[in-house]
Amino acid sequence: MAGIPFDQLEGSIWLDGKIIPWSEAKVHVLTHGLHYGSSVFEGQRAYGGEIFKLEEHTKRLHASAEVLNFTIPWSEEQINDACKQMLVENKLTDAYLRPVAWRGSEMMGISAQSNTIHLAIAAWEWPSYFSPEERLKGIRLDLAEYRRPDPATAPFKSKAAGLYMICTISKHAAEAKGYSDALMLDWQGRVAEATGANVFFVKDGALHTPIADCFLDGLTRRTVIALARARGIDVIERRILPEEMESFEECFLTGSAAEVTPVSEIGPYRFTPGEISKLMIEDYMTAVQPVKQELLVAS
Ligand SMILES: Cc1ncc(COP(=O)(O)O)c(C=O)c1O
């Protein structure tokens, strides 16, 4: 069930350098970003008042825009400050932040050379409330009809709004059949990722994950790879064929929103969330916690 519509929440939103009431953060219908998908965004979480990997997210936001051939007219430092300011203004500690940049309305056509670039940052409460036990039940995924596009067809390194069109179609189709999400194959028919999160499998004590060469190399994916290696767990990035899922024991998704979410089912394939999924949930949830100043002083 949908809750309060997002345009009706209360609080403040940072828009083009100003902090304005939530209800006033609007764009015109003739906005290039709306018509032609010229928009890039980020999704990041704050834990205990600190935004996890803020600098990396902002760097990716800037890089995503450059791929779409526009430059965000605020520096990474200004954006980082604005994100932090949004937490304070909205009195949030455990939250989700959504920076989004888009082309405005000066020109309305494929070419948008004169369009101004806009940036908004919204933040809302989003506690990370699942206990590891609850998470370990795992979620069910269908197999998506659409595939991640060939890198020669779409700019996959950009977290561009347009690339999410096939994700929403795929997620809706999966939800209509009672699943939580869908697993997308890549353009060559190999395992790629879920609609908004990367995927990992466990086999014989090692982690296997697809090479991120046509989909987002998530910051959470990289964090989990580093955490696993720090524990001495082998992480193998390789091509994974869908039939191989038959032989995997565990499966989990990773993403700033999804965190580490075990999977019990992908189409005809079954997994039993187990020890390695549990370890990765625990390690990730520890890693995202703000570093306590008193511990720094003591060490
Ligand atoms: C399509 C897609 N893949 C992967 C991810 C995971 O990326 P990250 O871990 O940086 O949030 C996301 C989340 O933004 C996503 O939307």
Please report the atom of ligand 1 found closest to the CA of residue 222.
9
Q: Report residue 191's pLDDT band, with 50, 70 and 90 as the boundaries.
A: very high
CB distance 159 to 216 below 8 Å? yes
The tokens for 230 are 């720090």
- Bridge-based pairing of strands 191-194 and 181-185 is antiparallel
Active site residues: 159
Span from the CA of 294 to the centroid of ligand 1 (angstroms):
33
Query: What domains sit in the chain, N to C, each tagged with a CATH number?
Result: 8-125 (3.30.470.10), 132-287 (3.20.10.10)
Span from the CA of 12 to the centroid of ligand 1 (angstroms):
25
Give the CA count within 13 Å in the CB-facing half-sphere of 276.
28
**pLDDT value at 136 more than 80:** yes
Span from the CA of 218 to the centroid of ligand 1 (angstroms):
5
**pLDDT value at 298 more than 70:** no
State the first-to-last Cα distance of the chain, in angstroms, to the nearest integer.
47
Q: Please list, in sequence order, all residues whose beta carbon lies within 8 angstroms of the beta carbon of residue 66, skipping any fewer than 6 positions away.
A: none
99: Cβ below 6 Å to ligand 1? no
Map residue 49 onto helix, strand or coil: coil
**pLDDT value at 295 more than 80:** no
Q: What pLDDT is recorded for position 23?
A: 97
CB distance 252 to 273 below 8 Å? yes
Output the average pLDDT for the chain: 95
216: Cβ below 6 Å to ligand 1? yes
Q: Quick one: which of 28, 221, 70 has its CA closest to 160?
A: 70
**138-155 mean pLDDT:** 97
Q: Report residue 2's pLDDT band, with 50, 70 and 90 as the boundaries.
A: confident
Q: What pLDDT is recorded for position 299?
A: 52
43: Cβ below 6 Å to ligand 1? yes
CA–CA separation, 122 and 21 (whole Å): 11
